[in-house]
Each structure stands twice: as structure tokens, then as C-alpha cells.
Structure 1
């Protein structure tokens, strides 16, 4: 359910035969915190000292030291130097957030102390902190990603649970390479047999439904714990991941957690929830129960309103700025082949509303009439999409426009009209929507986008299921900061051109 890059590497690097040293995160990431702290020091200390000295501001060294300490403090309080989290994301949004907090903190200190430097000098001096820290976060993230593609910087995981749920979790972990977990063994509860192919390292007896805190002696002290700990030692696991089920819950799960944690191993429990962003989850306690709350997707309120205003304003400004380029491309399309400059096509938008999508024409004028004769060459064998890597209907200029995504620019008019968003799911065709089930229809819960997760994850290289999974995740978990991240990554995807045909 992910893009092709994941599919090519995921199963290979998740094989259980990985060597001990190659999957130890601590062996490869010890320099991450040092690099992050050094970048934060240099990104504030040197610019502030340089700008203040050049501008003749009073006490440049003291100002530089104070700003640097404030920056390091803000970053530390937000746990940006914690080894387990460094490199797990590109950190660009987090860096901007921390910088805004820094500016607010220094503004408060300025008001309290009566510091008299020019505001313009202060902002100019602090500005390099964002690109320096952001670039360092990106480099660390790329290094960590590269390590994981080589089966490095991982955590060895022992899965504990019933065969069916264990298979589901093992498959989910094996399908992606953007996490630290590699399953090295399983301890199964009950008599079921797994299909995941991961070595079985132990077996827990099935326990009947009478097991409860009122009759704890049904589970002899340490029986489950000793089995799991013995398996963890054999597999050199550093995390026990428990998948609760009918045979592993309540008092039995509680006692198992005691045994694992008392032995110094990390313990995690799989909730069964998938494709829910972490920011939508929160935990509370009631009557001794730990409750996991899931916030509803953003459908109304301040963020959707801001997104609508931002989309239209940004698209309008882009149309004005790109007007000369649009005119040049229109002339080029007209001269390249007979037919109209713009290609108009009906697409399905928010809540199933049809609209006319505009693109620069990249195919011959009778492309739709020639499609039936090409159906046998469709490279999307599953789902309703039609894609060919070498479609004979595409014009010479059309290949260039598709490769650079310049053919999509007229969709800025769709954004201005409120039919599309800058970021969102791919706008589907009516015949695609006609084949949708209840799950697929959920992707129409937000406006389609000029760009989106599908464009930065492989575009036409994605299978139908992979593209649908990305769209569904976006529909339920989008945020303004996430949209800004997608827009920033879109530029790299356009330059790379992977999947654009």
C-alpha cells in the first residue's frame, strides 16, 4: 500500500537474518545530536555576531551568546536533540516553529531588559538559523534513510501475540522503510500458525476466558515472561512489541509487561490503528482504563478556512508571476501540433462535484478516440487508471511538459475558482469514481490538489492501491503545516521527474 520505492526495498531489508551490529540504531546515530547542536550554535552565534558588529550595534558578543543560548534552550525543551527522534523526519516545519518561538522569546527579553538594537538587524541576524538548522535536519534524515535502506540503524523487534494479528503487524512493518523496526522473531500465543515466515522463537499457552485479576493464579508468575525473555535473548531483541488479542490481554498482558520491563527491555503495544497521524491521538485515564482518543479529521474550523484563503491567494499571485511563461507555453503548444492549447477534462471534486480541469494539451487532438486501441497496453493492471510509460499519443513538446509538470500550471485557475486546492488528492475521472466503493469515496472528502502525496511519492509509478492509500491518509490527516511540507517537497519531485509520463 505504498509507493514503489518502498515496495522495492521494504521486504529485502526486513528479512530476519540481518546481523546483530547492522541493526543497532545506537551504533550509527551517536553523532546526530552533536551535529544538530553544532549547527544550532553556528547558525545563530556567527550570524548575530557578524551582523551586529557590521551594523555597529552595542555589545555584539553578548547579544550573540544570549541569542544562541535561547535558541539551544528552545530546541532542547522541544526535544530536538533526542537521539531516538533525530532523523525520523526532515524537521523543516519543526525548525520554523522553533524559530518563531525564539523570536517571541527574544522580543520579550528585549522588552524586559531595554535592549536597543535595531529590529531589522536582529531579524537579519536570526534569519540564517532556519536554513542552517533545516539543512542539517534534512542531511541527518537522508543519512538515516540511507542507513535503513542498507539494513542499518534499526531496532530488533520480537513480536508477541496470536498468529493472525502478528501476521498483520509483521506485514505492515515489512511494507515500509521509513521506520526503525525490523522483526527478528515471534512468540505466538495459542495454537495458530503464522504465514509471515518470521522464525518462531517461543510459544505461549492458550488461556481461557476465565483469566481475570480475580483469579490471577491461572497464569503462574513468570511463565509468559520467561518464555518471552528467553526468546528476546536468543534473538538479541531490544524491543518487545505485543499485539493484544483474545488470548493476550488484561492481567496476562500486565504481568508480561512487568517481566519485560524489569529485565531492562523496551515494551510497546500495537493498538491496531493504522493510517492515523500521531497528532490526532491523545491518551486519558478513566476508572483505571487507559483510553486512546482519536481526533476527527479537519473538515471545518480555522485550518480549513485558512487553507481556502491561502490556496486562492497563492494561486492568484502565481498566475500573475507566471503570466509570461504561460503565454510562451501556449504559443509553443499551438506551434508543436494541431489542436487546442488547453485540454479540458471533466474531473470529480469535493464531495463528488464535477468540474472542468484545465491543462496544457500534451497529446494529439484525437487522443481520446485512440484510447480503446491501447487498452491492452495499460500498465496499471489493477484499479481504474490508464497509464502508459511510452504513450504514442503524447506529442514531442508534451513529453517535456509532462516531465517538468508545466502542463499542470493552468490548474491554478481551478484553484482560484475554488474547485481545487494547491495540495490534495489526485483529481479522479468520472469513470474512476463510478467504480469506487465506500473506502475509495472517502478520498472525495477534501478538494483535489494541484500537487499532493502522490506527486512527491512517484506519481505514475504508483500502483492504484499505493496511490489510493496515500490519498486516503491525506484526506483524514491533512494539516496546514503538512501542506506546506508537501509544497516544499514538490519542487524536488518536479526536478527529479520520477513517475512523470
Structure 2
């Protein structure tokens, strides 16, 4: 990509930010109008004046204030748009900031703002804003996959660390990072790293190499500079050029929510909160599971009834398949699923061992398992066979979100670190589900599960549940 390509990318990013902002304005204005159009007689929230007159007099100011709150909270920042949960959290924070400002202003000016109007505006506007941001994110990811709005990345550091970073960036293509080369210490002599990243220069000439290669971003991994003074000089050399800089810390698999940068005497200290495995097993998550599973079970009941009948009619066998799994802290429980295989599937397992795609791991994975029935294939494609596990969630054996429920035979083969997956309840869905399902290697499955256990949060659970819907209908890795 030449300089013109870099300019087009920057222009594209600005247009994307403007498009998101325009969508926010439209949604906030729509929510305001819809709130003004409603008429409800709620005894505990009396209507104190005409809602239409309020919409006309203060509606435009509310729209402006809400958009400005999004600007102040940085919801349009390039670093957060399309990546992670920070964008969603800041959208919610901006809504809370707006609600607080409206409430305080109404109190101080003694303005009789309709409570119905106030409540409805946020009940309508906040979900619509989150849905819009999610939709915009999907569009950005599609553009990245098609080679648009890519960020040209130059990785600087030791060859080993460069390959570790490159592996992540190549795996997560939706991030839109295009690796153009590596900068290694002067002691290195290879023309490319062991992972196949071409070496285009040395770390002692980072700025000239970044400018010559027209990189959009320089990632500094371990070994990229010998001292903080050298990094500061690199920053000086890149000042005034459209080149971003990011440092990859030696820490890995730690969410941004657990890290906080607190400069002390000019020394940037990264404070890391303890792992969240205990919080992931307490009351808030349990309440979230009970409410969510109860609602999901009520909505899914018709579909479950249909497939239970189809499974029974197909071969006369039981509709449900009960299997002993390992729950939190190693406790055994009966995991419920719709039977998707023939009745004697367990007995036939030894005869199809040659089909196992995961011989190096502890799981059995066969893309064309002959034991799967026709009805079972449909259920597996859309994860319908796992819906009975909602009862396991209500009973407290499982959670809506968590690590994959393991078999006792698998757990007996766990290494010490992998046993940490058992510190929380297994999940009906999880990071493994939304990141590839059966297409994942055993190492990737473990990495994702351990990341979830250590970095649990309600916001992450909500994000995983939303991504699960897309993963299920896309059916990637479902077999």
C-alpha cells in the first residue's frame, strides 16, 4: 500500500467515526420522539405536564447533551471503535452521564420534566444505541476480512516475541491488522523470523524503518528497545508523522478491565487486579444465570418440544441424553442434552478412533461422525441439542457462560494449569463457543477458558451471549 493507500485508510476511518456519530444522533432523536409519542397511565409515575410540549422545548437540547456526553466519554475514539467491550461500556457511561445531567438540571431549575418521557427515552435509546454499535462493528469486521481499512503493522522486538504477537494478529483477522514486517536486534541475521515474518530492519533504526515502510502502527514487543530512554527517542523521531505506537507488555491473557495505568514519578506502573474466578462463582453471576436461563427456557420451549418429538419418532430411543460431567470444584453432575447420536454411540466410540481430529489433545472431535443422526445433525448445526442444559443452569450445576463442561476422563488428563477451568461452573456457552467451537485446537480451547476464568465480568458475559447468537447461526465449527 502506498502513501495514497495510507491516506485513503485514514479518510476511511474518519468517515467511519462520522457515520457512527450520525447513527447515534439519529437513534437518540428517534428515541426522544418515540418517548414523546407514548401515553401511559402509571399511578406511581404521574404525568405532570404535556409530553409533546416537553419534546419540543427540551428534546433538541437532550439530543445535543447526549451526543456531547458520547464525545466526552470517548465513544468515538479510534482505539475503541470495533474492538473489545470498552466501546459498549462507554456508551452506557455516556447514557448515565446524560441522565444524571438531565436530572440535576431539572432539579436546580425546578423544571417539571415528565418522568414517563425521561424513563422511556433511555429505555428505548440505550438498547438501540448498543444494537447500532454492534451492527457497525459487524460491518467493520466484514470490511477487514475483505482487505479494507487495514492497519499496516510493524512489529519490533526479539524474534520469539514477534512471532507470538504475529500469531495472535493473524488469528484475529477481524482486527484488521496487516503485518508488513519485523524489526529485530542487530545480533539477528535471519531474513525472516521462525514464524515467517519478513525482517525489514533493526530495532536501533525503528523510526526510519517505520517511515520508509509507511507503517500505520509500530508494536513494541519485548526486546524492541534496551532502555526507556531509547523508546522516548523513537517517539520523538516519529512525532509529527501519522504513525501510532503501542507497547506489548510481557503480561498476556489479562483483560483491560483488570489493568490500570498509574504514573508514579514519571514511571508508568501497570496495576493488575487479582483474577476474578471467585467473583465468577458468587451471587451476582448466579442471579444473572437464574433470570437469563428462566427467560431463555420459556422462549425456547416450543423449539425444544418439536425436536424432542422428532428425536423420539426417528428411532424410538430417548429424546434426552444424560452424561456425567465435571462441574465446579470437580463435582460431578448429569449434563442434559438432546440425543443427537444413535442409541449405542458410546459403545461404537472405539471403532471410530481413527476419525479423531484432536489426537494431541484430550477431546474427541470428528467432523463426519457416523454416529450422528439426521435430526441430530440439524440440532448440532444450530446448537439446539444443548438447550436442555438450561435446566442444568437453573439447578446450579452450570452457568449460562463458562468453560466447556468436561468429561471425567478428560479431567483426569488435565495438567495442573488446566485444572483452573474447574474453579467456576461450566457454561452453556463460552469464549470457546464464539471463537470457533470444534475448529479450535485443544491449546486454544484451554487458553480461552483460562482467560474467561481469570477475567470474568458481567459485561463480558453479555458480550459472549450476544456473540453466541451469531456463532450459532454462522455454524462455524459445529459438528
**Shared fold by TM > 0.5?**
yes
What is the aligned partner in structure 2 of residue 5 from structure 1?
Answer: none
Q: Which residue, out of 128, 148, 166, partners 1:170?
A: 166
Of structures 1 and 2, the one scoring higher in RCO (CA 8 A, sep 6+) is 1
What is the aligned partner in structure 1 of residue 125 from structure 2?
Answer: 129
Range moving further from structure 2, 88-97 or 152-161? 88-97
What is the aligned partner in structure 2 of residue 43 from structure 1?
Answer: 27
Q: 1:118 to 1:283 in 2, by over 3 A?
A: closer
Shift of 1:20: 5.1
Q: Which residue, out of 46, 55, 64, partners 1:60?
A: 55
What is the aligned partner in structure 1 of residue 198 from structure 2?
Answer: 199
Q: Which residue, out of 363, 385, 390, partners 1:385?
A: 363
**d(CA) in 2 for partners of 1:111 and 1:155?**
48
Secondary structure of the residue aligned to 2:459 is helix
- Does structure 1 residue 77 correspond to structure 2 residue 61? no
**d(CA) in 2 for partners of 1:346 and 1:274?**
33
What is the aligned partner in structure 2 of residue 33 from structure 1?
Answer: 17
- Does structure 1 residue 86 correspond to structure 2 residue 85? no
Q: Which residue, out of 85, 94, 103, partners 1:107?
A: 103
Q: 1:337 to 1:19 in 2, by over 3 A?
A: farther
Where in structure 1 are there 5+ consecutive unaligned residues?
Answer: 1-17, 205-223
What is the aligned partner in structure 1 of residue 377 from structure 2?
Answer: 399
Q: 1:313 to 1:202 in 2, by over 3 A?
A: closer
Q: What does 1:139-218 align with in structure 2 at a 5 Å threshold?
A: 139-192=135-188, 193=190, 194-203=193-202
Secondary structure of the residue aligned to 1:31 is helix
**d(CA) in 2 for partners of 1:454 and 1:78?**
31
- Does structure 1 residue 410 correspond to structure 2 residue 405? no
- Does structure 1 residue 334 correspond to structure 2 residue 312? yes
Range moving further from structure 2, 177-186 or 365-374? 177-186
What is the aligned partner in structure 2 of residue 456 from structure 1?
Answer: 434
Shift of 1:465: 2.6
What is the aligned partner in structure 2 of residue 291 from structure 1?
Answer: 269
Moved over 6 A (4+): none
**d(CA) in 2 for partners of 1:19 and 1:256?**
23
**d(CA) in 2 for partners of 1:195 and 1:476?**
31
**In the comparison of the two structures, how many residue pairs are matched?**
463
Secondary structure of the residue aligned to 2:14 is coil
What is the aligned partner in structure 2 of residue 8 from structure 1?
Answer: none
Q: 1:238 to 1:295 in 2, by over 3 A?
A: same
Shift of 1:345: 0.7
Secondary structure of the residue aligned to 1:29 is helix
**d(CA) in 1 for partners of 2:382 and 2:367?**
15
What is the aligned partner in structure 2 of residue 350 from structure 1?
Answer: 328
Secondary structure of the residue aligned to 1:184 is strand
Secondary structure of the residue aligned to 2:448 is helix
What is the aligned partner in structure 1 of residue 47 from structure 2?
Answer: none
What is the aligned partner in structure 2 of residue 10 from structure 1?
Answer: none
Shift of 1:379: 2.7
Shift of 1:280: 0.9
Where in structure 2 are there 5+ consecutive unaligned residues?
Answer: 40-49
Indicate if the aligned counterparts of 1:385 and 1:432 stay in contact, CA closer than 8 A. Answer: yes
What is the aligned partner in structure 2 of residue 486 from structure 1?
Answer: 464
TM-score by length of 1: 0.83
Secondary structure of the residue aligned to 1:81 is coil
Shift of 1:288: 5.0
Q: 1:479 to 1:164 in 2, by over 3 A?
A: same
Q: Which residue, out of 338, 354, 373, partners 1:376?
A: 354
